Structure 1
C-alpha cells in the first residue's frame, strides 16, 4: 500500500512537471515566419492636391460706405476678407424671399454700410460650411454674399443670394472682435479702388472700377504632364490599357470600359466612361464634393483652378484656370477642367495637361487697361452688340501659345459676359470671339 502511494506521488510530480514544461514552451514559442516583401505604395499623384477653399473663391468684392463705393478684383485683398470670415460664427440661416428678383437685389446692393462678395457660379452652402463656421446649413446655394454692418454692434446681417434661382437666405453673424473687424475690414475697404454703378438695362446693375487698371503681361515656360500619368491614374488596370495613334496630333488610350483621347497639339485630354452615364439630377453639394474629391485623388490641380460653373441638371462642374487670381481664356487651347459626374463615378473628364511653369522675367511688363467705365460705355453705345445683354465685365488674361518656343503669353484684357459666354473686349471693333466659359 505504501508503494502505491509512492507511485501516485511520482506520477503526480511528473504530470505537474510536464504541465509546467508545456506551458513554458507555449509562452516562449516563436514561429519561424517567412519574411513578406513589402510592395512600395504606388503614388498616382499627378501634380498638386487642394483644399476646397482653394477652388471656391469670390472674384470681386464691393464695399458701400455712407459716401463712396470701393471694390477690388485683387486676389490678395479678397483673401484678406475671406480669411477674416473664417473667425465668424454664422447662425439662423433662414429662407426670407423666394422671389428675389433683380429689382430687390439692386435695392439690397445699394444699402449703405454693406459689402458684397461675387462668385462666378452657384456655391452650395453645405460645401461653403467647410470654409466658414455655419450652424445647420440648409441644402441651398448662392452666388453672392451681402453683409450689412453696424459699427456699434458685433452682430451682422448676412444674406446669401442666388441670382439664378431668385431666392434670398438671411443669417446672423457673430463677430468676436468688433475693433478688429473695423480695422481689418472696414478701414481696409475704404482704401480700395473707386468703383461706380453702371446700368446695362432697367434691371441689371454692374459695379465697375472708375480708373485705369495696371496689370502684368506674363510669359511662362510650358511644361506638360505625360498622358501616361493620367492613364495610370484614371484607368482601373493601367496594364490592360491599349494605346494607339489615330492621327498626327491625336492618340487614344482605351480598355474594355473607358477611353481617353489625347490632343497632343492643344495639350488636351478627354476621358470617357460610357457605362457611368446617368440622367438623375444631382444634389449640388454632393456633386461638387464628388468632382472635387475625384480630382484631388490623383493630384489633378496642376495650376490654380477655380470653380466657375456648376449645373446639377447635367451633373457638370467646371474649373477655370486663374493667374494672379484672374481668369485665363484662350482660343488656341482649353483653360478649363470640365467634369460630368456619372453613376457613382466620373462619366466624362476633359482638361488640359499642360502646366504654366516658371515665369520668363525678360518678357514681363506692366500694361495699362482702360477703365471699366470706359469699357462699359463703349459696349453700351457701340451699336455692335446689344449692351443691355451684358451681364458682367471683368479683367483677366488672354493666353496665346508659341509652339516654336514652348511659351505661353498672357495678355491682360477686359472680358464681358453675354448669355453665359465670355468675350474678349477689343477697343478696335468693340467685339471679339466667344471663348472660355459657357
Structure 2
C-alpha cells in the first residue's frame, strides 16, 4: 500500500488532462454540414398576368358632340383613353348630389362635349384611383357605374371635369383634372369619334334612357378552334400538397379531386372547373374595394384572366365577384357553357372558384351577318314585350357561344352575334333577324 497515494495522484492528473483534451476537442470541433438547397417553388400560370385596367373596363364609350351620339365597343380607343387618364392630375373630388334622378342622369349624358364610359358593375373609387394620378390623400368610400368626361373647357383652361355617377345609389361625385397636352388629347381621343358608329338615345318615361346603334350592325359568325387548359394545372394551383390529393372518376364526363379539406370537380363536357374550400366560408363583412382587389389578385396570381375577362358583377353580401368573357369588344353569353370567372371570398382566402378551362384559339371561318339596327330592335321589343322594354337595364350586341365537333373530331367554338337585353346581370336573347352571306374561310 506504499504507492497508493502516488497512484491516486497520477490517476487524478490523468483524468484532469483527459478532461482538458476533450474540452478542447469539443470547442474546436466543426461538423461538415451539407449545403442546404433552397426549395424551388414551381410557378404555375394558365395565362399572362394582367394589369387592373385590363379587367376594369367599360363595355361602351359614348361620345356626345354637335348634338349627335357616337359610340364604340372597340378596345383600341378605350386603351388610348385609359392611357390619357393616367397622365391627368386629378383633384378636388367631392359629392355633388345623393338623390340623382333618372332624368338628370339622361341630361348629363346628352350634354355636348362629353364622353360617357359605361360599366357593368359599381367600381369602387378607391380601386379606380389606382388608374389615376390623384393628388389628394382621402378618397371617398364610394363607387360609380358611369364615368363622364367633360372636355367643354379643355381648350381654354387645360382642365376637364370627371363626373362619377352611381346609377344604382343615385350618387354623383365630381372631380377636376389637368390635361398636360390638350392638343394631343383632342387629336387622339376626341376627333376619331367622328368615325365611330352613330347612336341614338331611346327615352323611356321616368326611366334611364337606352343607347343603341342607329344603323344595322355589320358583324360575322365566327368559328374558332377550342384550346384546352389542362385541368392538372388547376390541381397544382388550388391544392397545396399534391401528394395527398385523391382522384375519383364519377363518370366519363366528371371527376373529383380532394385533399380531405377542399374539393375540385371537373366537368369535361362543358369544360368547367369548380373548386370549394368549405372551412373558409365566412359571413364577416368585406368592403367592396377589398373584395374586388382580393379576387383580382387571386385570379391574376396564376394568370387566370386567360382571355378578355371584365368585371361584370359583385355581390357584397355573398362575397362573390364575376368576370364576363368578351371577344372583339362584345360580351359572350351561353345557355350551357360557362363564360364567366366566379369567385367567392372566404376568411382571408378563396372559398369558391368556378371557371371554364377552355381558351378561344385561332379563327378559321367567318360568315357575314347583318343584325337589325338598334332602333328596329327597340321598336320590336316595345311591341312584343313592353314589360321587358321597361325593365331592361341595357340593350347590347353580344355573341352567343355554342360548341360543336369538326369532321376531324376537333372541338370548335362558335360565336353568333345577336342582340341581348341585360337585367340584373342576366341576359335575354332578342333573336333579331339576321341576313347572312356565303361561308368562307379566313387565313
Global fold match (TM > 0.5): yes
Q: CA deviation at 1:422?
A: 1.0
2:132 equivalent in structure 1: 132
Q: Encode CA deviations 1:402-432: one digit per residue, 9 max, x unaligned.
A: 1443110111111111343111221369xxx
Give yes or no for the alignment of 1:183 onto 2:183. no
TM-score (norm 1): 0.86
Q: Which range moves more in the overlay, 188-197 or 392-401?
A: 188-197
- Tell me how far apart the structure 2 counterparts of residues 423 and 36 of structure 1 sit (CA, whole Å): 60
1-side partners of 2:424 and 2:239: how far apart?
A: 37
Partner of 1:409: 414
| TM-score, length of structure 2 as denominator length | 0.85
Aligned counterparts, 1:14-413, within 5 A: 34-135=34-135, 136=137, 137-149=139-151, 150=153, 151-360=155-364, 363-383=365-385, 386-403=388-405, 404-413=409-418
**Aligned residue in 2 for 1:426:** 431
C-alpha deviations, 1:191-227, integer Å up to 9, x for none?
3221111024432201111012222322111121222
Q: How far has the Cα of 1:243 moved from its partner? A: 0.9
Q: Following TM superposition, by how much is the alpha carbon of 1:39 offset from its aligned partner in structure 2, in angstroms?
A: 4.3
Paired residue for 1:21?
Answer: none
Deviation at 1:92, TM superposition (A): 1.1
Q: Give the number of equivalent residue pairs.
A: 399
Distance 1:45 1:83, change over 3 A: same
The whole-number CA distance in structure 2 between the counterparts of 1:225 and 1:358 is 15
> How far 1:253 sits from its partner (Å)?
0.7
Quick check: 178-187 or 250-259, which moved more? 178-187
- Deviations 1:58-77, CA, capped at 9 Å, x for gaps: 11111111332211112222
- Secondary structure (helix, strand or coil) at the match of 1:128 reads helix
Contact 2:227 2:359 in 1 (8 A): yes
Shift of 1:47: 2.5
Q: For residues 321-340 of structure 1, what are the alpha-carbon distances to aligned partners after superposition, in whole Å with 9 as ceiling and x for unaligned? A: 11112111111210010001
Which SS does the other structure have where 1:302 is aligned? coil
Residue 386 of structure 1 deviates from its aligned partner by 3.4
Distance 2:273 2:185 in 1: 46
Tell me, in whole angstroms, the C-alpha distance in 2 between the residues paired with 1:164 and 1:213.
30
Change (3 A) 1:383 1:40: closer
CA RMSD of aligned residues (A): 2.0
Structure 2 stretches lacking a partner, 5+ long: 1-27, 435-443
What does the per-residue CA deviation read over 1:223-252, in whole Å, with 9 as the maximum and x for residues that have no partner?
212222111111121211111012232111
User: Does the aligned pair in 2 maintain the 1:381–1:387 contact within 8 Å?
Assistant: no
**Counterpart secondary structure, 1:41:** coil
The SS at the match of 1:217 is strand
Q: 1:405 to 1:201 in 2, by over 3 A?
A: farther
Is the CA contact (8 Å cut-off) linking 1:250 and 1:261 kept in structure 2?
A: yes
Contact 2:345/2:352 (<8 A) preserved: yes
Task: For structure 1, list consecutive stretches of 5 or more residues without a partner in the other structure.
Answer: 1-25, 430-438
